[in-house]
Structure 1
Amino acid sequence: MRGWGAGTAVLIGAGAVLASAALPAAAVEKAPVERSRAVVVVDCARNPQVRPGSYMIACGDGNNALASLHWSQWNRSGAVGAGRNLVNDCIPACSSGHFHSYPVSVRLDRARPWAGHHGRSHFTRLSVTYTSARPPHAPRTETFDV
């Protein structure tokens, strides 16, 4: 190999390209490119979830969570579902309060790249709309950054 110049290296490289072009595509095909993965919602433990059946809204104290979730749509533009919002009334204090269940519609949107997870996006906004009864002083729709 000693004594080969740059011109020889170029010829060898060009020969390899030409030889691979003559082979059937299956013989030179690289590993399949990973298909785009579904957009996820990230839970309190920083785990990706797709169409979760439940979702903790109040990660710090657990006093607000979604349950019995059923999703009718889940794509890059957004996710739409329905379920129950379990809310602690915190009366007389959150540690001794009671949970109440309210029917809600749920929307996830504002998909953004998920830092540190190449090629993966996550929803960054959650909207919860009460469809009938709601907690005292709660607006009809609440929006959370997730």
Structure 2
Amino acid sequence: MLRALALSVTVAAIAMSNSVIAAADPQPLPTTYAIGKCITAEQPAQPEPERFDYNCDSTGVLQDMVWTSWDAKGAKGEGTDDSLECQPNCAQGTRLTNPVVVHAWNPQPAASSSKCPRGFLFYTDMTIAYPDGVPPWIKPDTTWDVGTDFVTVDGMPAVHFSGMKPNCRLF
């Protein structure tokens, strides 16, 4: 009888201990989606940004964005690309403004070691398509750099950023 009582007390203590631990665990944050580049104090991770610096240095900025979808399947929107043609160099280059159609998809978490905010999944692929003309450096079927290819999307010349990882510089 004494053993049965001791066993019951032990089981109850373990159950209570587990429930206290479970109660102490923080609740998971709701998932929020963001574009996986250029996260800073000035440009925090946010859903459906109206303005977004996609080159992290003001040479390529999406602005006046209106998003028609933004979820686990991806994001779709339209707006304006305000980009700098760095010819003969970025300091002397011309600003070009073009309407764009943007698609982003493949949301993934940031590396656990990053300074990125918790609760976000970042789109790791994005295309910026140009329906009414294209900056002179966009040449479909060529590659600008690793992870930056020039493609055609729905008949429009476009740039495809692949394998994007958020660059979270919050401080």
Bigger Cα Rg = 1
> Is 1:45 matched with 2:39?
yes
State the distance in 1 between where 2:86 and 2:12 align: 75
Relative to structure 1, is the Cα distance of residues 43 and 49 closer, same or farther in structure 2, using a 3 angstrom cutoff? farther
> Is 1:144 matched with 2:144?
no
Q: CA deviation at 1:93?
A: 2.2
Q: CA deviation at 1:141?
A: 1.2
- Amino acid across the alignment from 2:122: H
Counterpart contact for 1:38–1:76, Cα < 8 Å:
no
Per mean C-alpha deviation after superposition, the further-off stretch among 134-143 and 37-46 is 37-46
Q: CA deviation at 1:121?
A: 1.8
* Larger RCO, structure (CA 8 Å, separation 6 or more): 2
Percent identity (aligned):
25
State the distance in 2 between where 1:122 and 1:97 align: 31
- Amino acid across the alignment from 1:124: T
- Which SS does the other structure have where 1:11 is aligned? helix
State the distance in 2 between where 1:121 and 1:7 align: 49
> Is 1:67 matched with 2:63?
yes
Runs of 5+ unmatched residues, structure 1: 19-29
Count of residue pairs the alignment pairs up: 132
Relative to structure 1, is the Cα distance of residues 92 and 80 closer, same or farther in structure 2, using a 3 angstrom cutoff? same
- The corresponding residue for 2:54 is 57
Aligned-pair RMSD on alpha carbons? 3.2
